[in-house]
Structure 1
Amino acid sequence: KVARVKEVSGVSCGDEALKNILDTYGHLIGEERKLLSLASEAGDEATVALMSDYLKEQEKLVWMLVAYSTCDCKK
C-alpha cells in the first residue's frame, strides 16, 4: 500500500466531510511544496511554474473552506 491519503467512506455529516477534504488538501499541499523545492533545486522551471500555480489555487481554496467552516451563520 503506497497511498498516504486516507480513503473515507460513510460520511454523512457536512462538517466531517469538510474536515476530511481539508486534511487531504493539507497533505497534498505539503507534498507539492516538497516537489516544488526539488524542482527548484534541479532547475526545472516548468515544474516550478506548474507547482506554484497548483499551490496558489489550492491554498486559496483551503483558505476559503476554512473561512466557510468558521462562519457562524446563525447570528
Structure 2
Amino acid sequence: MGNPENLMNQIFNLRLSSARQARKCEEEEKEQKLKVKKAIEKGNMDGARIYAENAIHKRTEHKNYLCLTSMSS
C-alpha cells in the first residue's frame, strides 16, 4: 500500500486547502451580496436576482468545504 505518514500528510494538505477554499467562498459570497445591494439601489432587479443566486451558491459551496475540512480520518 502506501506509507501511512505520507497518507496523513496528504489528508492534512487536503483539509488545509479545503479551509482556504471555504474562506475564499465566504469572501466571494460577501462580494455578491454587495452587488445585490448595489443592483437593487439602481433598480436592476434582474441583475440583483442573479447576484443573489450566486451568493446562495457560494454559501452552499462554503458549507460543503467546511464539511470536507471537518471530516475525521
Fold-level similarity (TM above 0.5) = yes
1:64 aligns with 2:64: yes
Deviation of 1:44 (Å): 0.4
- C-alpha distance in 1 between matches for 2:58 and 2:48: 15
- C-alpha distance in 1 between matches for 2:61 and 2:22: 9
- C-alpha distance in 1 between matches for 2:71 and 2:16: 16
State how many pairs are aligned: 62
Higher relative CO (Cα under 8 Å, sequence separation at least 6) belongs to 2
Moved over 3 A (4+): none
1:7-66: per-residue Cα shift (whole Å, max 9, x none)?
A: xxxxx8112211211121111111111111111111101211111111111111111221
Structure richer in helix, relative to its length: 2
Larger Rg computed on CA atoms? 2
1:6-17 correspondence runs (5 A): 13-17=13-17
Please tell me the root mean square deviation across aligned C-alpha atoms, in Å.
Answer: 1.7
Q: TM-score scaled to structure 2, two decimals? A: 0.71
Matched AA of 2:41: E
Matched AA of 1:60: T
1:54 aligns with 2:54: yes
- C-alpha distance in 1 between matches for 2:64 and 2:23: 14
Q: TM-score scaled to structure 1, two decimals? A: 0.70
